[in-house]
Structure 1
């Protein structure tokens, strides 16, 4: 069966142009419309019936669910979504869920009442079973999320590999007692970052000391609290991997409160590369995620679903980067320890 992308390729236009011909032919140049019409006829293309239904009731608006609008991570992702959406004539409606399942589920009413055409969920808290039920009726894409199943398109990074990379860097700097302040382990991405930490420790023969593990909630306060607890132990860690930059900064301030210097007494690696990470003292070593590109890719996938195109690849993992700054001590040490 022919797809919209096949029509676009044969006509020599974009899928967005094919979509405009189907939805609003008056907005397309006659010459272009003729090419698309000819390709449709030649391929015997039939638009998806669900997409037809949405075209009849379309609002040119998509809903983006944000768990915490104050978090700059989500602001960057939304920026990517809005840029891609505007190119294709869509508006973005934001809803701050405050990490509440009830608010997420209540937002589905916007879809049911045809107030929006589709939805992008950032780090959802909703059970996967419920998301699958909703995705069977409405166009949905996830960002910064991992799913056990592969029935909803999602955009993220390889969080397990990233957690491994951050921990392995500290090991190569010579550290053996490396603590981990994870995110909420009920969240798949937090669990994956933690698994990456464990894998690196085990691979290098250091084992995993449960006394060095704390479960945070991505906030500055949890990073400060858990680092204070870790430094109150008889055998203190010499390094810490925190699963968010906010927690890493909290850990640095907790160390300062007991007159430990970073990185001389404690090496710190964070996660996300928020804007403040490079301006903090000391500048924070961290895993940089391509947030803006995540937003663009999520919107691209949603557009395909809105246009009736088949989305066969569900897992879209973008590349991250370990950004080395002063907080880990690598720049003072000049070189890492060979393994």
Structure 2
């Protein structure tokens, strides 16, 4: 197995020069750096990360805790983070919390023991008081998919605006009885999407009716069950805004089983913009979140904190985009039916 001395000998430089190239510290001219990197590749030299971390106090690892690896929204965030981390020579340690607050805390403790250089929390349910209590002794943290008022980085999309646009779209399609399949009450993003739904109804002069809201847990099975409950409570429902795409896909399945035509009888809109939403029938109108960009940007923020020692915390809010597909184009269905009747 090649050693750092072997690399130095092949490159014709000192061991300290090889060390500077590996650690990205100190000045090394471009020609020398390329010669060292070429020697590393030729010898297939693998640096001892543990030994390096003792010197640099960096492990080149990032912990990423997400709530549900089976939800397609989250792997897209992970992909963005992993691609950006790889470019910068970092590795990702992935943890799945199953929406369990206690499990999140355990994983944070484990990651701290592993001496990770930074942590990304996606959709965390941890309270701000708890996050504040660990911030002073913990590596840099980036919170994704949640607005936060603490001295730590956060990245989210404008959930209130996204839900407002989604509900306004249903109103524009002629829907007046609009149900909402909501996310978990503990989820900040779910509460914000409820707020956007209510805001759109209020501005349209339509009263908010609690019986038109059914709770879910961001999974397809609960979306299907929630749609059945919504139809039981209000058989006249004309539109359904779902707090995420998986629940919307479950709702589509329930409507199909009940022989309710989408969008002619009931229009459906989801949230997240997962790839699957394009391929269900009918293709799902959805509020698209820039998920890959969220993961990518999280690594960039951590890199600035870790490598460049930039302490300024950023709270980034990205704009979601409504992508209109066939599941909600109810007005077009009624206009086509009207033209057929007048032929």
User: Shorter-normalised TM-score: what interval?
Assistant: 0.7 to 0.9
2:115 counterpart residue number: 115
Query: Gapped runs of 5+ residues in structure 1?
Result: 1-19, 34-52
Aligned-pair distance for 1:22? 11
1:143 counterpart residue number: 144
Q: Kindly indicate whether residue 323 of structure 2 is the aligned counterpart of residue 323 of structure 1.
A: yes
Larger Rg: 1 or 2?
Answer: 2
2:219 counterpart residue number: 219
Aligned-pair distance for 1:94? 0.7
Q: Kindly indicate whether residue 55 of structure 2 is the aligned counterpart of residue 60 of structure 1.
A: no
Q: C-alpha separation between the residues in 2 aligned to 1:313 and 1:101?
A: 24
1:81 counterpart residue number: 81
TM-score, normalised on structure 1? 0.81
Q: C-alpha separation between the residues in 2 aligned to 1:274 and 1:200?
A: 24
Aligned to 1:105, the other structure's residue is in SS state helix
8 Å Cα contact 1:272/1:287 also seen in 2: yes
| Superposition RMSD in Å | 2.4
2:261 counterpart residue number: 261
Alpha carbons of structure 1 residues 334 and 22: separation in structure 2 relative to 1, 3 Å: farther
Q: Which shows bigger deviation, 23-32 or 198-207? A: 23-32
Number of aligned residues: 296
Q: C-alpha separation between the residues in 1 aligned to 2:331 and 2:325?
A: 7
Cα deviation, 1:13-39, whole Å, max 9, x if unaligned, reads xxxxxxx88953368427999xxxxxx
8 Å Cα contact 1:167/1:197 also seen in 2: yes
Q: Kindly indicate whether residue 304 of structure 2 is the aligned counterpart of residue 304 of structure 1.
A: yes
Aligned-pair distance for 1:314? 2.9
2:174 counterpart residue number: 174
Q: C-alpha separation between the residues in 1 aligned to 2:102 and 2:263?
A: 42
1:290 counterpart residue number: 290
8 Å Cα contact 1:141/1:153 also seen in 2: yes
Query: Gapped runs of 5+ residues in structure 2?
Result: 1-19, 34-52, 336-343
8 Å Cα contact 1:325/1:331 also seen in 2: no
8 Å Cα contact 1:120/1:143 also seen in 2: yes
Aligned to 1:110, the other structure's residue is in SS state helix
Q: C-alpha separation between the residues in 1 aligned to 2:104 and 2:29?
A: 41
Aligned to 1:25, the other structure's residue is in SS state coil
Aligned to 1:150, the other structure's residue is in SS state coil
Aligned-pair distance for 1:224? 0.9
TM-score, normalised on structure 2? 0.80
2:4 counterpart residue number: none
Q: Which shows bigger deviation, 310-319 or 117-126? A: 310-319
Q: C-alpha separation between the residues in 1 aligned to 2:111 and 2:308?
A: 17
2:314 counterpart residue number: 314
